[in-house]
Structure 1
Amino acid sequence: MAILRHWVVSIADRIEKYWSDERKPILVCNGGLSVSGLQHVGRLRGEIILVEAVRRVLEDRGWKTRHILVLYTQDPWKGKDAQLKVFKDANANRYIGWRLVDVPDPYGCCDNWVEHYWMDFGPYIKDFSEDVEVYTTTDLYRMDSMKKIIGEIIDRRRSVVEVLNKFRGRNPFPDSWMPFEPLCENCKRIDSSEAIHIDLDSYRVLYRCRFCGYEGVSSMENGKLYWRLEWPAIWKALDVGFEPYGKDHATPGGSRDSCIEIAREILRFKPPFGIPYEWVGYTVKGRDLGDMGSSDFIGFTPREWLMVAEPEVLRFYFLVNEPMKRVVLSLDQIYRYVDLYDRAERIFFDVESLDNKDELLLIKESYLLSTRFNPPPRLPFQLPYLHAVLLVQVLPVEDRVEAAIQRLKSTGILNYELESWEIDKLKVRLICADNWLKLCAPDEFKVKLLEYIPEDIARNLDDRDRYLLRILLDTLSVCVWSEQGIKDAMKSLTSKLSRSDQEKLFKSLYLILFGKPYGPRIAPFLSLMSRDVILSRLKSAVEYP
């Protein structure tokens, strides 16, 4: 299946048109992140998954591409409340203004702040994209290509001031302003020093620190460009041809517009084609906590996602939604995203249909992109996530996959022999479900079938409870023992009951099964259990004492 009408295709078309006059032998697709704190999954959306999908389409058309990710490690540490709180040291505010790469690891397990917070993101990029080359700005400022560009900016600093002042309104830079931010070797701040004189031959800068008053000379490799200059300088140094960017840079007359003008007027090169994307929201127990944020420590990491769900589920979720649509993620709702992916897989293989042809094509193409153009040979066996959640709670831990297969066969959910790749998928699904239960599942999903009905529960069932359980026993004795069969039978039964009797029936059923008046969706749970076990439990309740 070819990708024909997806929004990713539209972006690829626009990139090809943008570079039609000077097609690059290798199109560099770039993303950028500041490692200012929690490296959350929202950062995968534009910088990793969007870029990877566009690359796939372009490479399918014959383009050669590279995917680069720049980590802004020279940026100053701001010392926000959330950043300060991760330190046990009450004097952590002394690190404010330090380069991120110089701030110590608050937990003492890594060499610095950047390494600590990168370890829950960097090693897992490969699960969401392939062949991503990671650069840090600390490394870039040591590269000859970057040094040459900085020299161009310093030599044309008066023109730089003129361009930047178009975007600074009432706070223009003076003509004498030096467009470089030195590192103070006395107090270690990179946000407080003023460059007095720059010697490009020795690549050193004379500076005065406004914070501590120190005056000295330091290597320019340790400093950084003003941020509106740093961005286009990196574009030129890495020959970037395409770059997504967060919506905060998309304002007309804002940061990206100023960088484009610097690229064209000062550095004299064609800036990359760009596309904005919306932030990813974060909810916990139904409460929207706002957009995920690194320095505010809002969200969760790729490592945490991979503990509870497959990477292709997140790839699909980001790809089926257009870049400027706000999407929200919640670990306690993980099963919903998995269900969306499983449905897309059924639609892709024409097992499930849709009347809306545009939606059908969007889902099919998003699914194909989420598989990196490598879908399975046929629709695999799908174990719904919440079924997996139930299974891991009723099966022994030892030989769980084999036990799951036997249980699924005995209950009629699985009626053929799985191939090895399907068994691998089943194993991952069970592991994810088990982790979700332990780490972030709401209490209502945590169930344990009682070995027997406790005496106090059996004794407190009244005559109406027993009557309702009796007719349920009769119903389940003859229905088809599958999720749909049980669901249909119970729907037929409850449709004849009053609302109060419906509530009474389910409360009694949950009590005799789990010892509490609530529990999982009952049809999926019952379908995974032996009919004899369930009927025996109902009979014990009805015939007590």
Structure 2
Amino acid sequence: CGFEGWSDLERGNGKLPWKVEFAARWKLLDIRFEAYGKDLIDSVKVNDWVSRKILNFEPPMHVKYEHFIDASRRKFSKSVGNVFTPQMWLKYAPPETLLLLMFKRSVGARVVTPELIPRLWDEAEELEDVYFGRVKIVDERTRSKLRGLYEYIYLLRPPQRPRAHAPFKLLAEMGSVAPAENLREFLEKRLQRYGYKVDEYLLEKAEKARLYAMDFGEVPRAKVKIELEDSEREAIQAIIERVGRAADGEEVQAAIFEEARRRGINPPQLFSKIYLLLLGRPSGPRLGPYLFDIGADRLSEALASISSS
């Protein structure tokens, strides 16, 4: 432009060449941490040198990152129309779930899809269980790592006490059949019937899970390997038949114990297998009332799905 003289960086009049821009900004603003994309590796190396040798300022700590990509491993692009923004994510889950996505792995491209939300929210709650000692981790190093991760997803200000937890899939199922009017009352009563101590956190999770179900449909069961003994399969088949004849959830609850003991199966073991079939995890709501609500067909379909896989 032909200008000669001094220009105030803070006024934004002009732009420094790329070989010194980072370094100048680091010293001016006392930057201690600077993440960068892998396409800027050469620029960062040059600016590190300028910062040390010319400006006498130790360059900030660096972390290299890659792009966020969709399920098809394409970069997000407004023109393509495959954008999934943080604001969209936060419609269905709290900020700590998004931070968990970021902190679990610091290298490589990250796939970001709505399908991650249920798993990450449940995983954040598993970290909370470890943090407050609800789940015991024998290995001290592993326990310390998980506790640290929990603290960081809450920006070093974690909750003072553990909250009530329930699987996202269960809450989404409940939300999909909940009436719009008296929504909270419906959710609270059903959660209590399933054996949960209901607090504000759990109700908020249920409400967000309902929004998720309305926008994305059924939450798929987590992919877990399920192996059934012949006796377990027979017991589950008998339970399916009894669910259809039961008068209420308590009758179903009693039937599960009866069918387990009739075949010499430890009841908690059978409960765990049914939870895995329905929710993809070894624990969940009080099973009798839950099975009574969802019906025998759901358990029958889940059993058939592993028979054919």
| TM norm structure 1 | 0.41
Equivalence for 1:256: 44
Task: Say whether the 8 Å CA contact 2:23–2:47 is kept in structure 1.
Answer: yes
Distance 1:237 1:293, change over 3 A: farther
Whole-Å Cα distance in 1 between the matches of residues 295 and 46 of structure 2? 72
Whole-Å Cα distance in 2 between the matches of residues 536 and 278 of structure 1? 48
**Mapped pair 1:282 → 2:35:** no
Distance 1:430 1:325, change over 3 A: same
Equivalence for 1:542: none
Equivalence for 2:34: 243
SS of equivalent to 2:136: coil
CA displacement at 1:381 relative to structure 2: 0.5
Spell out, residue by residue over 1:260-301, the C-alpha distance to the aligned partner (whole angstroms, 9 max, x if none).
Answer: 2333444x23143222233254343xx4x1455788776521
CA displacement at 1:380 relative to structure 2: 1.0
Task: Say whether the 8 Å CA contact 2:92–2:208 is kept in structure 1.
Answer: yes
Letter in 2 for 1:372: L
SS of equivalent to 1:350: coil
Equivalence for 1:470: 241
Equivalence for 2:230: none
The partner residue of 2:129 within 327, 334, 346 is 346
**Mapped pair 1:234 → 2:25:** yes
Whole-Å Cα distance in 2 between the matches of residues 278 and 528 of structure 1? 48
Whole-Å Cα distance in 2 between the matches of residues 302 and 441 of structure 1? 20
**Mapped pair 1:314 → 2:104:** no
Identity score, percent = 20
Spell out, residue by residue over 1:193-232, the C-alpha distance to the aligned partner (whole angstroms, 9 max, x if none).
Answer: xx4x22326x6xxxxxxxxxxxxxxxx9554222233222
Whole-Å Cα distance in 2 between the matches of residues 334 and 313 of structure 1? 7
Whole-Å Cα distance in 2 between the matches of residues 534 and 430 of structure 1? 17
RMSD: 4.0
Whole-Å Cα distance in 2 between the matches of residues 371 and 338 of structure 1? 13
Letter in 2 for 1:427: L
Flag structure 1 segments of 5+ consecutive residues without an equivalent.
Answer: 1-194, 204-219, 446-465, 493-505, 507-518, 539-545
Equivalence for 1:387: 170
Spell out, residue by residue over 1:444-468, the C-alpha distance to the aligned partner (whole angstroms, 9 max, x if none).
Answer: 68xxxxxxxxxxxxxxxxxxxx999
Whole-Å Cα distance in 1 between the matches of residues 288 and 86 of structure 2? 31
SS of equivalent to 1:342: helix
The structure with the larger Rg is: 1
Whole-Å Cα distance in 1 between the matches of residues 40 and 204 of structure 2? 39
Task: Say whether the 8 Å CA contact 1:320–1:363 is kept in structure 2.
Answer: no
Distance 1:528 1:344, change over 3 A: farther
Whole-Å Cα distance in 2 between the matches of residues 489 and 296 of structure 1? 46
Task: Say whether the 8 Å CA contact 1:282–1:290 is kept in structure 2.
Answer: yes
CA displacement at 1:400 relative to structure 2: 1.9
Whole-Å Cα distance in 1 between the matches of residues 107 and 157 of structure 2? 27
Q: Which has the higher helix share?
A: 2
Letter in 2 for 1:488: L
SS of equivalent to 1:245: strand
CA displacement at 1:534 relative to structure 2: 6.2
Flag structure 2 segments of 5+ consecutive residues without an equivalent.
Answer: 222-236, 246-250, 258-266, 299-309
Whole-Å Cα distance in 2 between the matches of residues 469 and 384 of structure 1? 22
The partner residue of 2:270 within 468, 473, 488 is 488
CA displacement at 1:391 relative to structure 2: 1.2
**Mapped pair 1:406 → 2:177:** no
Spell out, residue by residue over 1:412-437, the C-alpha distance to the aligned partner (whole angstroms, 9 max, x if none).
Answer: x22x4x5xxx31x1232123212222
**Mapped pair 1:426 → 2:209:** no
SS of equivalent to 2:32: strand
CA displacement at 1:471 relative to structure 2: 5.7
SS of equivalent to 2:3: strand
Q: Which has the higher strand share?
A: 1
Task: Say whether the 8 Å CA contact 1:332–1:442 is kept in structure 2.
Answer: no
| TM norm structure 2 | 0.68
